[in-house]
């Protein structure tokens, strides 16, 4: 997935690593709760997030997972020599057979920047795990698209 922003890498990075901004974004997008902690180290930042979400589930997925879930995210951002930022993300659905990992990059582009992220979902349930992972991948990407849109709107209103 990719999104172009009309703001610098530094401005977007500052928002994406600001616990209060991230919590507000989660709640504005309909999540039930969000707690975010950030720890700076060198040129990088570690983000730990716990989010409670509620989703409509198809029947096959609802047999293995409840509609409400606690998600625990661990993000690691680093500074690259060219002014870009990059990192990795892991997400665990607490007590559920689903996990997600991602690699991302925030690069300068013209007067703004481009944020790129690639997600991979896994499910450990035999036989139907692939179906559940495919559903989870769609949910993750829909949520990411909403987060992209939230940032675009925020940047328009806060130039």
Domain ranges of the chain: 2-157
Q: What pLDDT is attached to residue 159?
A: 81
Q: What pLDDT is attached to residue 42?
A: 82
Distance CA(148)–CA(101), nearest Å, equals 18
Reported pTM: 0.93
Nearest CA to 156 among 2, 6, 1? 6
Q: What pLDDT is attached to residue 153?
A: 97
Helices H, strands E: what count in the chain?
4, 7
Alpha helices in 47-104 (DSSP H): 59-62
Residue 104 token pair: 């991302």
Distance CA(108)–CA(19), nearest Å, equals 23
- Residue 38's DSSP bridge partners are 47
Structural fold of domain 2-157 = Alpha-D-Glucose-1,6-Bisphosphate; Chain A, domain 4 (3.30.530)
Q: What pLDDT is attached to residue 86?
A: 97
CA atoms 78, 85, 30, 24: torsion sign: positive
CA geometry: angle at 117 spanning 22 and 56, to 5°?
Answer: 65
Compute CA distances 50 → 66, 72, 137, whole Å. 17, 5, 19
Residue 115: alpha-carbon gap to chain centroid: 12
- Residue 79's DSSP bridge partners are 85
Name the maximum alpha-carbon separation found in the chain.
50
CB 6 within 8 A of CB 154: no
Per-residue pLDDT of the chain (159 residues; tens, 9 = 90+): 999 999 999 999 999 999 999 999 999 999 999 999 999 988 899 999 999 999 998 988 888 889 999 999 999 999 998 889 999 999 999 999 999 999 999 999 999 999 999 999 999 998 999 999 999 999 999 999 999 999 999 999 998
Q: What pLDDT is attached to residue 63?
A: 85
- Residue 5's DSSP bridge partners are 113
């Amino acid at each position: 997935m990719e999104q172009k922003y009309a703001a610098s890498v530094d401005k977007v990075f500052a928002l994406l690593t600001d616990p209060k901004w991230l919590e507000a974004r989660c709640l504005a997008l309909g999540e039930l709760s969000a707690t975010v902690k950030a720890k700076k180290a060198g040129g990088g930042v570690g983000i730990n997030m716990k989010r409670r979400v509620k989703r409509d589930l198809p029947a096959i997925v609802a047999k293995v997972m409840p509609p409400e879930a606690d998600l625990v995210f661990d993000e690691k951002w680093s500074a690259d020599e060219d002014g870009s930022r990059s990192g990795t993300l892991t997400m665990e659905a607490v007590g559920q057979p689903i996990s997600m990992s991602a690699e991302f990059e925030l690069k300068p582009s013209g007067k703004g920047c481009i944020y790129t992220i690639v997600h991979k979902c896994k499910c450990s349930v035999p036989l139907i795990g692939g179906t559940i992972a495919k559903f989870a991948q769609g949910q993750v990407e829909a949520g990411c698209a909403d987060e992209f849109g939230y940032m675009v709107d925020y940047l328009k209103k806060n130039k």
